[in-house]
Amino acid sequence: MGKDKNSKSFEIALSGISCAIAVAVLPLGIMTGVGSLTAAGYSVAVLAIMLPLSKQFFKGAFLAYAATCILTIVLGAAAKFWDLVPFIIFFGLHPIANMLQLKFKINKWLALVVKALWFDATLIAGYYLVFHGLLGGSLLPAEIYEFVNKYIFLLIFTVGSVIFFVYDYLIFKVQIMVNRLVYKIKR
């Protein structure tokens, strides 16, 4: 019983640290309105959610993810809620899905296809929710935006899927590094 009690307290502590780190950066990244800072906030929050997963604390990771989403909204991201939606529907859950894939020994190719479709659906949702179904601006010539908007679904299902394959591979590698780091914290 003593070992189980320590394990539970370690799960709570690791999940709390995970949530605290994610909540410290995610609202700041979203509220700045700068795309690179939003991406940085997403990245650090994803890394934070990996902390409880390093010890196979799935419940703790999911609760840290849920609390991160709720607290990010409460701390001001409600004003830019649509910028948080991709994190809510994909990026925050993706590390949990990866570890569940490993735990239940789901075929990696099948899982990759399902996760790629999930990612593509997130990109489509982002296209409509964040960009209101129309990309445009002054950074690129209007012809490029016209081309992208005309072929958005083809681009998402090809380029988006290729980007996802690289992202998924890197997230697995980062999870291994996080696992090693947390292993050194508590032996």
pLDDT of residue 150: 92
pLDDT of residue 156: 96
pLDDT digits (tens, 9 = 90+) for 125-169: 988 887 778 777 777 888 988 998 999 999 999 999 999 999 999
pLDDT of residue 1: 44
pLDDT band per the 50, 70, 90 thresholds, residue 5: low
Mean pLDDT of 113-127: 95
């735990």: which residue's tokens? 103
pLDDT of residue 83: 87
State the SS3 of the chain. Answer: CHHHHHHHHHHHHHHHHHHHHHHHHHHHHHHHCCHHHHHHHHHHHHHHHHHHHCCCCHHHHHHHHHHHHHHHHHCCHHHHHHHHHHHHHHHCCHHHHHHHHHHCCCCHHHHHHHHHHHHHHHHHHHHHHCCCCCCCCCCCCHHHHHHHHHCHHHHHHHHHHHHHHHHHHHHHHHHHHHHHHHHHHCC
Q: What does the alpha-carbon distance between residue 85 and residue 122 come to, in Å, rounded to a whole number? A: 9
pLDDT of residue 133: 80
Mean pLDDT of 117-123: 97
Asked whether the beta carbons of 79 and 56 are under 8 A apart, the reply is no
Q: What is the DSSP string of 82-127?
A: HHHHHIIIIITTHHHHHHHHHHTT--HHHHHHHHHHHHHHHHHHHH
Asked whether the beta carbons of 161 and 119 are under 8 A apart, the reply is yes
pLDDT of residue 185: 78
pLDDT of residue 91: 97
pLDDT of residue 129: 81
pLDDT digits (tens, 9 = 90+) for 15-69: 999 999 999 999 999 988 888 899 999 999 999 999 999 999 999 999 999 999 9
